Each structure stands twice: as structure tokens, then as C-alpha cells.
Amino acid sequence: MLFCPRCRAEYRAGFRRCSDCGEVLVPSLPPEEPRKINELVPICELENLYEGDQITRQLEKHGILSIIEKGMVLVEAKDEERAAEIVKVFIAAPPICGACGSEQDFEAKFCDQCGAKLPPPLKE
């Protein structure tokens, strides 16, 4: 088994780099450092869990730790400004079809490329 030292994903032998972050894989991971969570501040209110999942994943990609609590996305106070900016950009981005990856209109309910059902539009 191989591991990505950055995102800690597991890979089968034969892979050399992490497909997500391009990091060279290592045979074993260093022990996980306990992440210190400082003061948390809410940056946006969620319409649904799907949305929250998308947003936390987006923030994680930028190295920002976030949690969902009582329908709010919380981040550490030091990340507040950056996280708010990322969320703003993310929410403003056109929806992407989960099946074929093409960009869709905000109003579209079905993908105009492959016909897959699109998630409900995200609230401002």
C-alpha cells in the first residue's frame, strides 16, 4: 500500500504520484498531527447538506479546515476572509454536470450534454 503524504489517500502498489495533488507517494504515512482548532467563525449559511459538502470540499482544496454545524459552515478565524472569498466564487460558479463535467446554466434542471439530472441550484 502507498500513501499520498499530502492528502493521505491510499494507493495500490504501481502508482507513483497522487492523482489529486501530484505528490510522490510514500510507503507509510507519518503519524497524523493533531490539528489544533482555534476559534471558529461562521462564513455562510447552508441551504442543504449537498451544498455544505461541496463547500467544505472546496475549502479543503485550498487547505482551509471547515466544519458544518447547525446548517452553518464554520472556519478558523484566521481563514475567515479567504474562505468567504472562496465560497463567494464557488457559489457564483455555474453548476457542473456530475455525469459528464460540462458547465450548465443556473436554471437548467438537466444536463444539455448528457441529459443527467442536475443538483438543485445553490442559493446566493
* Footprint of Zn ion (CB under 5 A): 4, 6-7, 9, 18, 20-21, 97, 99-100, 111, 113-114, 116
Comparing CB distances to Zn ion, the nearer of 20 and 53 is 20
CB of 62 to Zn ion, least distance (A): 14
Q: How far is the CB of 123 from Zn ion (least distance, A)?
A: 22
| Between 44 and 64, CB nearer to Zn ion | 64
Measured torsion, CA atoms of residues 57, 61, 63, 68, in degrees rounded to the nearest 10: -10
> Closest separation between CB of residue 100 and Zn ion, Å?
3
Q: Using H for helix, E for strand and C for coil, what is the string for 5-27?
A: CCCCCEECECECECCCCCCECEC
Nearer to Zn ion, 15 or 89 (CB): 15
Q: Which residues 6+ apart lie within 8 Å of 103 measured at CB?
A: 94, 95, 96, 97
Residue 44 or 56 with smaller CB distance to Zn ion: 56
Q: Amino acid letter at 9?
A: A
| Continuous H helices in the chain | 49-61, 80-92
Q: Nearest approach, Cβ of 22 to Zn ion (angstroms)?
A: 8
